[in-house]
Amino acid sequence: AMKFKAWEAFTLDDARTLLRKKLFGLVVAKTGVSESQRYTKSILHIWCQSKAIADTIALSYKAIVAELEIEDNVILMATVAHEDGIFDNNMTLVQAA
């Protein structure tokens, strides 16, 4: 989750929009799976530019899963990463460990 160039400006509305998009995608994906491959739990992993963004997403999460009626089906995992390359796919920005 990011707010290009100004991650401090990531709002609750941004979090709700992102979660609705990602969680609705999980709902659609699950309905497209054959009966023999059906699963009951999904994990939504979101990379976040800051702890503040992760916290904002966490604040919005319960309301959105309730809205989509998937409270028991999805586990949210938010990871805070400070490497810019993760957010713009420029791997030259990611430092070698």
pLDDT at 89: 66
For residue 83, give the 3-state DSSP assignment: coil
pLDDT at 1: 55
Q: How far is CA 96 from CA 17, 32, 66, in A?
A: 33, 39, 41
For residue 45, give the 3-state DSSP assignment: strand
Please list the ranges in the chain whose pLDDT falls under 50: 97
Q: How far is CA 49 from CA 7, 22, 60, 64, 80, in A?
A: 7, 17, 17, 21, 6
pLDDT at 74: 92
Q: For the chain, give every domain's residue range.
A: 9-93
Residue whose entry in the numeric block shows the structure tokens 């100004």:
6
